[in-house]
Amino acid sequence: MGPEPADFTKGIPNSTQIASQKAAYIIALDKQLADGIATIQQERGLEVKMVEFATDKELDLIKCQLHERRNEQIALLDEQATIAVLELRKACIERKIQLDAQASGLDMDYQMKLVQTQLAQKAYQFQVTYAGAENKLMKEYEAQVALANVRV
């Protein structure tokens, strides 16, 4: 007889062992799947937080820019309003100066006319007095001439 036949199943797992290994691999694969899903969900959660942070940061920057633009526009409007008020005040002061100059000119004209009127009245009174004195002198002269003619 010949040598004993070799055991071809030696070192190869049997059906029970294969089922046991298969079950262990399935459990390991399920655990890897669960771990992978958990890792992906954690990564997604972190990435969502990063996107939200980046978006919030960008929104805050845009808000800051908009607030800055608004404040610049308000400052420009304030400056324009201040300039307009100052121009209005300047125009008012210039008009008051013109009004004072006109009033002073009119007052000076009035004072000059008053002096001219008083001078004319005094000249008139002088002429009236002079004419009265001249008439009186003329009557005295005529009386003296008449008296002299009577004596001659």
In percent, the amount of the chain with pLDDT more than 90 equals 84
For residue 132, how far is the Cα from the chain centroid? 81
Q: Is residue 121 part of a domain?
A: no
pLDDT at 87: 98
Assess if residue 88 is contained within a domain: yes
Residue 93 lies in a domain: yes
Could you give the C-alpha distances from 79 to 6, 87, 93, 123, in angstroms and in order? 106, 12, 21, 65
77-135 tens-digit pLDDT? 999 999 999 999 999 999 999 999 999 999 999 999 999 999 999 999 999 999 999 99
Is there a domain that residue 150 lies in?
A: no
- Domain residue limits at 106: 16-113
Overall average pLDDT of the 65-72 stretch = 98
C-alpha of 21 from chain center: 81
Domain count, the chain: 1
Instruction: For residue 21, tell me if it sits in a domain.
Output: yes
Answer whether residue 1 shows pLDDT above 80: no
pLDDT reported for residue 28: 97
Is residue 143 predicted with pLDDT exceeding 80?
yes
Is residue 3 left, alpha or beta, with left meaning phi > 0 and alpha meaning psi from -120 to 50?
A: beta
For residue 128, being part of any structural domain is answered with: no
Residue 152: the pLDDT is 60
The answer to whether position 135 is within a domain reads no
| Within-domain flag for 152 | no
